Structure 1
């Protein structure tokens, strides 16, 4: 073995060159200027459409922000120094416009380098409360709309770890605020903590707990301690002058909700024991009703730890759930309970029942309605009219009921019974109107309700407003857009009697803007915003929705972009981007909701950037996976996947635009899973880009995406659908990108790392890029720009400049 040192030296040399020590890179200028284009502000409007708050933020966080201290506990990601989500998106500037025709002006009194979040109107909509995060914590601020002035009313001691840390009292002069508990103990440093014993988990015989592969779960007693300390809060009543008094002592407060009239407060707290299997929203909880002064009225509900639900997507827990206030009454609570024990396998006439209980909450509850499917919500109207919804995932069915809340002897009427994936038959959403409580019940005029619909059809998108007589169920169309050169969306109704609606208009090169449209008077549109197109370099790019057929006749579609330097007769490389979607019928799967007049918006994960680099781009290509009747969609997943891809390439190739030997495929999350499978099971592509995917389904054994069978019930499905299991067949260049801190169920970073190791071990051309600090979606500017650089380099090398095939390869 005298050559052993030489062998070891060679081995170490190979290992040393298997990584590239790159600093963050930036993409070419034509991509960079699009990626760095400023965002239009987010707009908040009062219910009369008279006062507007514009919120400005950067496209990105910085890697410094992502590198701030972070603790991952019970499904939460918390900055323990500031006591707010470490992934919180912040606004950095505020402007106000008082009056539709005035110009917005910058708010006075804002702090420098502010990080603003949690904007919430006061009940009278004359103010907005919001938080500002500083280095030491979270402050509460108030924006006065009339004076356009902001002021701080608390120090940086709010606790926003479990969500928005405040709610308005009805008097408009005070707020109920979560503060860091005075009983909070010091956090334990997990890196230096000395264990006091092993971590032990127990499963009782016959008690099944088939849960998804959640991330950021508690792992040990140290995590339990830290979670409890970070969840502990005190509730204080804070006046606008900054004075405060204790409203409720220390507890792990999760949700706080005032009754519509402000007389009562519904408070949900997190209880023990904690769990190492599920996130905090499935920990035990208690819901209590207090009066506005903080005195207990009713201990309304206790929920145990939820680790062992029955099998199936439609499974739910027993007991009270979906507890909320009726929007149309001063103080009436309602909730739902399962009639099937929460088990979708049971054969029952009705799945759920909805109850209500009026203040002071000491009588027997009243039954309102029973639903055939799983309860999905209620829109309240008045004491004679309400609308309820249910759904059933296995059949993709949803039903809409109209019922009389004051008479449970009156049989509810089903006014819609449809496949919720059937976009062409969607009747729209009922219009609501702000009432005296500041809530939004149905906007009813006599016996009539009103709906706004998207208006998707075979001919395109033509949104509408319908009037429905709730007694006769007759529907009358009041308005339908007829625009063919723009896309119109009806956002909301300002005043149905006057015919005033807020609409949004856009075209492929006109940034979306908001207007007032009067449906009764033939007057011009009244502009509310005038946002400019920040992506001028691609505003004239050719864009069209193409339709084509799969080999089984199913109609597919995609949005096709031609390069900015397009020359007729020349053939270009192509990037195809997609995301598979499961259907239970071919009719819904073949529907098209794309529109070539939609504004061309190259968000950070978009492939559209590459039109500036000489590529044809087919974005949002249809990838339906259909399983009709007893057949499940995934039973023929690979066959349908390849068929979808071939149909797309054939369609663009038949138009004469591309060199079909230079086509790349890409996707994010389940789209990454799709990409890896296409490269493993076809020779259609020159290269692939897979971001934040899962590649070994045995690591997600209790279901994934829309697959509810577990591994042991369908092992061949899990095996055949796993690209990892077919790594030996994959010879096409693949770029794997993954956030090191991915928090999405199932897409652990380990998925990309192990898949890369398998491909590398088998000699496949593959590159793995792990983005530090990034979650399932990427947010730091440095990360996003580097990702774009990686993708561009990969496409240039393996697609645009791919060597021509030899005769043997052909």
Structure 2
């Protein structure tokens, strides 16, 4: 696969257009290649009874040939038309079982020869594991007998994985509900037929604003393709191999059994479709089937959700979020907005939560009235459940205690805090799978306690914890807290009475591994090696400093392993991603830990310590707007102040050369990079990957900005680096995935920005990575991206030539001209 770059060489007196060049894939220095190609750490999953651990080896990076397989981008989905499954999946390649706590390890036998494993799920009784295997033509269902560590194919079944989750276990662990490709559906509709007329969209005065989405339906031919690939049949598959279709085929989004196994909740999308919204907004029918496939109850038929207000906590009117109560045999629950879906309306109750028990012919029961937007339920016992709510405007989060057996009792507040005040985050109530396989609160044998797993943010960094809270007295007892020199995270609770739980522990020099904690006893469960042993010991330091307005800032500083103070200041690469806050105290809270193990994902800037650079990673760029002011009202001022404060701190320490600093970012970080180059002279070069640069192309909001372009045009204009293309004189490298699927970051954004910069004589290079989405995947593309970045940094930062008018205004640089 060749990378095509359109290049133009501009001169003062004439313009010479150069034909597109073929650029061969390149590789960065070997030290970077070795880090990229280090073996990934296995994934881990635990049986709910704590008796087994499943380890899944992870597929290496796909090749560009694998990434270039056929892909259907439709209705917000990305499918492989050959398999009728998702086109971009990180697969596992093998399965290993370890019996706890004796540690005996078993390699699962009978797996397909070339396994591409996904959707791995334990049966409720933990005796079996199901998974999907993707071949060149189909998605298959496989079953593992845990005790025998053996796998077998479920024959004569091809799954329809268009919506991702293609099966679920029934509570008795004797069967599964799967969405299957409809038999005899014939060939896919032709896409090259002549149209029968124009494509028409119309609105008759109704507000129907929508954010900027990718991969939408465009015409009737797309609609036919969507119907063909998304239509599925629910099938009950017994572990013996016997199958029974349930209900009729349709665009079935999900099919979930009730906890007693007698009913199935089916959600089906249907026409009329939309050309401006993804499938998640299409009309939806919600039905309950009996387990034999007959209709038990038509619950609701929801219209196209095309009139939802533009707000992060806005929702459609009508019932939403139907699901089964996890702790009851067969009771449905859902929420309904009381404010027209707009949380800005001044009403005392914004959402109500309702219940309806089998046989679904009784009166709907009100469970809770909430003063915020409903976010979800956590079920515990017949007398204990937790309801969660939030409000975006001030980042408020609340949790209420609800008694399902006495729904007329007003819920009592359990937690009330800001989502951005991490120092006072009480933690998340732990859950475990009950006998039916549904998640319920981990309450211990007494039923009077819940267990809170928290990140434990503090001025000294994150120190995760486990707290036990008496739900009646609200008194808490701290079981355990992570302590230096380790960063340790609770993963799953096993036994409350014995204080037994599983953690994942790491340090700055030791990779993450899993441990069983029994009171003070620590039992290692895995011994994954350091995949980056070749690099030696990284020098990492968490910096804490302030910008001029008093907001506290942090950054992770990495130095080359052989660096010594007398070596003096180094060329530096800074990486960041801005975040919005409503309180400057919250913005200044320390996040992260000095004891985490550094992993080299494809997007990491830390690769460049191997090339003699200091790296400032995760530099905090808080954008604060308190009270009635919105954060973005002073975006550029705060952006530049934060970046300058980071450079000044590195220079104060004597490790950062302030005259040789580059800035890089991905997505919103790319947007940040372009703005920093437009509004400051702090940097020698910039690297912007998969960004958006013209905010008028995302007029109905972006990132954390809720206001539309028409409500705050000055903000949109001031924040768009496209408008300042004539001001950017610092060399900038633009990189974009050809098939970016992220809302708002169309490749057109980089294309137009490149042309604007080129037109004003900037030093700019634009690299398009074939077939890549918003995150990059293919080995060849990732290595070439790192080569581009390394070449750019070496040329313009490490040993930059003097900047003159001739070097600043060179027009396009050919694909092979960067050395």
Q: Which residue of 1 aligns with 2:560?
A: 563
Contact 2:49 2:126 in 1 (8 A): no
- Residue 23 (structure 1) shift: 1.3
Contact 2:422 2:586 in 1 (8 A): yes
Alignment CA distance shift 1:755-1:805 (3 Å): closer
- 2:573 maps to 1:575: yes
Distance 1:386 1:171 in 2: 24
Look up the SS of the partner of 2:92 in the other structure. Answer: coil
- 2:353 maps to 1:359: no
Distance 2:311 2:694 in 1: 21
Alignment of 1:616-655 (within 5 A): 616-655=614-653
Contact 1:138 1:155 in 2 (8 A): no
Does 757-766 or 374-383 show the bigger shift?
A: 374-383
Distance 2:9 2:603 in 1: 42
Which of 682, 685, 688 aligns to 1:684? It is 682
- Residue 106 (structure 1) shift: 2.6
Q: RMSD between aligned alpha carbons?
A: 2.1
Q: Which residue of 2 aligns with 1:4?
A: none
Q: Which residue of 2 aligns with 1:43?
A: 44
Look up the SS of the partner of 1:460 in the other structure. Answer: coil
Q: Which residue of 2 aligns with 1:281?
A: 280
Distance 2:337 2:728 in 1: 47
Alignment of 1:294-443 (within 5 A): 294-443=293-442
**What whole-Å deviation, never above 9, does each CA across 1:6-59 have from its counterpart, x for those lacking one?**
x99999996554754211111110000000000111011101222122111234
Alignment CA distance shift 1:15-1:530 (3 Å): farther
Contact 1:184 1:232 in 2 (8 A): no
Look up the SS of the partner of 2:758 in the other structure. Answer: helix
Q: Which residue of 2 aligns with 1:490?
A: 490
Look up the SS of the partner of 2:787 in the other structure. Answer: helix
Q: Which residue of 1 aligns with 2:115?
A: 114
Distance 1:346 1:258 in 2: 37
- Residue 775 (structure 1) shift: 0.3
Q: Which has the higher contact order (CA 8 A, sep 6+)?
A: 2
Contact 1:616 1:657 in 2 (8 A): yes
Contact 1:85 1:160 in 2 (8 A): yes
Look up the SS of the partner of 2:326 in the other structure. Answer: coil
Look up the SS of the partner of 2:441 in the other structure. Answer: coil
Alignment CA distance shift 1:655-1:359 (3 Å): same
Distance 1:428 1:336 in 2: 24
- Residue 412 (structure 1) shift: 1.6
Distance 1:637 1:59 in 2: 40
**What whole-Å deviation, never above 9, does each CA across 1:634-656 have from its counterpart, x for those lacking one?**
00000000000000000000001
Contact 2:9 2:16 in 1 (8 A): no
Q: Which residue of 2 aligns with 1:464?
A: 465
Contact 2:234 2:255 in 1 (8 A): no
Q: Which residue of 1 aligns with 2:63?
A: 62
Q: Which residue of 1 aligns with 2:3?
A: none
**What whole-Å deviation, never above 9, does each CA across 1:102-146 have from its counterpart, x for those lacking one?**
343332111222211111111211111111111121111111111
Runs of 4+ aligned structure 1 residues displaced above 6 Å come to 7-14
- 2:546 maps to 1:549: yes
Contact 2:9 2:18 in 1 (8 A): no
Q: Which residue of 2 aligns with 1:3?
A: none
- 2:198 maps to 1:198: yes
Distance 1:12 1:47 in 2: 73
- Residue 619 (structure 1) shift: 0.2
**What whole-Å deviation, never above 9, does each CA across 1:631-680 have from its counterpart, x for those lacking one?**
00000000000000000000000001122111000000000000000001
Alignment CA distance shift 1:11-1:547 (3 Å): closer
Distance 1:432 1:10 in 2: 66
Does 337-346 or 783-792 show the bigger shift?
A: 337-346
Alignment CA distance shift 1:148-1:556 (3 Å): same
Look up the SS of the partner of 2:440 in the other structure. Answer: coil
- Residue 524 (structure 1) shift: 3.1
Look up the SS of the partner of 2:776 in the other structure. Answer: coil
Does 129-138 or 465-474 show the bigger shift?
A: 465-474
Aligned length: 796
Contact 1:257 1:267 in 2 (8 A): yes
The TM-score with structure 2 as length reference comes to 0.94
Does 599-608 or 62-71 show the bigger shift?
A: 62-71
Q: Which runs of 5+ in 1 are unaligned?
A: 1-6
Look up the SS of the partner of 1:163 in the other structure. Answer: coil
Q: Which residue of 2 aligns with 1:270?
A: 269
Look up the SS of the partner of 1:543 in the other structure. Answer: strand
Distance 1:95 1:577 in 2: 37
Contact 2:175 2:237 in 1 (8 A): yes
**What whole-Å deviation, never above 9, does each CA across 1:201-224 have from its counterpart, x for those lacking one?**
10112x111111100000000000
- Residue 456 (structure 1) shift: 1.1
Q: Which residue of 2 aligns with 1:184?
A: 185
Q: Which residue of 1 aligns with 2:253?
A: 254
- 2:77 maps to 1:80: no
Contact 1:611 1:617 in 2 (8 A): yes
Q: Which residue of 2 aligns with 1:613?
A: 611
Alignment CA distance shift 1:539-1:489 (3 Å): farther
Does 388-397 or 55-64 show the bigger shift?
A: 55-64
Distance 1:468 1:637 in 2: 41
Distance 1:425 1:8 in 2: 56
Distance 1:322 1:185 in 2: 34
